[in-house]
Amino acid sequence: MGKIGFIFICCFLIRAGFGGLTWSCTETNVVVHPLQASVTVGFEFVNSSSKLIKIKKITSACGCVSGKVNIKEYKPGESGMVWVRFNLEKRHGAQRKGVVVQTSTERKTLYISTVIPKTFVFSKKRLDWKHGEKRIEKSCRIINKGKVPFRLKRIVTKQKKVATRLKMIRDGFEYQLFVKPDAKLNSAFILLKIYPEKQKGVSVLKSFTFYVLVK
């Protein structure tokens, strides 16, 4: 098995484009790992017409999905591939996203469908310290809403004047995040990224973002 996150033409819908491009499929249903950050799918086509076809642009209504093609012009009989990448970060539940391929002869929408399992959620939206408030350590609970345990391993932040630590409450399911700003830190909006333990077969893992506001 290859690494999760790259899928080559895993399609269930076959549809031909008469007088233009003939697609092996226009929709694919993929299974993703709960901690997988993105998935890329290849949609194969062939120029079944008698003339040169140009791929003018590939667009999407959602910033979470994008498409690209390596070659933009195809002679009769030539084949190619449109690669569609779906960013799974900050998403869960049933998803169906598409890109529109505009050619010199037609428009075709390609779809990726999946169900993203829910994992870690925070008990608070953020941690706050008011102006003049003592910079004591505060905490937030992180809970895995799924059925499969995953360990959280590290916290990353660009702000050096804040101390962070994780305490395991229930292995793979519940953690306590502790944050303590420096006594002299003021007017700071801090982003923390919490990363899980590496997973076999997953090339790029999701991170879980938490915010800290120090006034």
Quickly state the pLDDT bin for 19 (edges 50, 70, 90): low
Q: Are residues 92 and 130 both part of a single domain?
A: no
CB-based contacts of 126, cutoff 8 Å, min separation 6: 210, 211, 212, 213
Q: Which of 84, 116, 148 is where one domain is finished?
A: 116
Q: Which of 116, 149, 178 is where one domain is finished?
A: 116
CB-based contacts of 26, cutoff 8 Å, min separation 6: 11, 13, 15, 43, 108, 109, 110, 111
For every residue of 81-111, DSSP letters joined together read EEEEEEE-TT--EEEEEEEEEEESS-EEEEE
Q: Are residues 104 and 136 both part of a single domain?
A: no
Domain membership flag for residue 186: yes
Q: Are residues 111 and 164 both part of a single domain?
A: no
Domain membership flag for residue 1: no
Domain membership flag for residue 83: yes
CB-based contacts of 53, cutoff 8 Å, min separation 6: 20, 21, 47, 73, 74, 103, 104, 105
- One-letter amino acid identity for 24? S
Identify the helix (H) or strand (E) that includes residue 22.
Answer: strand 21-29
Q: Are residues 65 and 130 both part of a single domain?
A: no
**What's the total number of domains in the chain?**
2
Quickly state the pLDDT bin for 13 (edges 50, 70, 90): very low
Beta-bridge partner residues of 192 = 210
Q: Which of 76, 92, 116 is where one domain is finished?
A: 116
Q: Are residues 89 and 150 both part of a single domain?
A: no
Residue 27 domain boundaries: 6-116
Compute, in degrees rounded to 10, the torsion defined by CA atoms 81, 116, 32, 96: -20
Per-residue pLDDT at 4 exceeds 60: no
> The domain spanning residue 189 has which CATH number?
2.60.40.10
Q: Are residues 136 and 182 both part of a single domain?
A: yes
Q: Are strands 53-59 and 65-69 parallel, antiparallel or unpaired?
A: unpaired
Quickly state the pLDDT bin for 30 (edges 50, 70, 90): very high
Domain membership flag for residue 92: yes
CB 16 within 8 A of CB 49: no
Q: Are residues 108 and 19 both part of a single domain?
A: yes
Q: What is the pLDDT of residues 147-183, one digit of tens each?
A: 999 999 999 999 999 999 999 999 999 999 999 999 9
Q: Are residues 100 and 28 both part of a single domain?
A: yes
Six-digit token string for 144:
């895995």
pLDDT for 15 equals 43
Q: Are residues 172 and 94 both part of a single domain?
A: no
How many angstroms separate the CA atoms of 71 and 93, rounded?
Answer: 34
Domain membership flag for residue 166: yes
Q: What is the pLDDT of residues 54-101, one digit of tens each?
A: 999 999 999 999 999 999 999 999 999 999 999 999 999 999 999 999
Six-digit token string for 213:
């506001």
Q: Are strands 53-59 and 93-103 parallel, antiparallel or unpaired?
A: antiparallel
Q: What is the pLDDT of residues 88-134, one digit of tens each?
A: 999 999 999 999 999 999 999 999 999 999 999 999 999 999 999 99
* 197 DSSP assignment: P
Q: Are residues 108 and 60 both part of a single domain?
A: yes
Q: Are residues 27 and 90 both part of a single domain?
A: yes
Q: Are residues 82 and 15 both part of a single domain?
A: yes
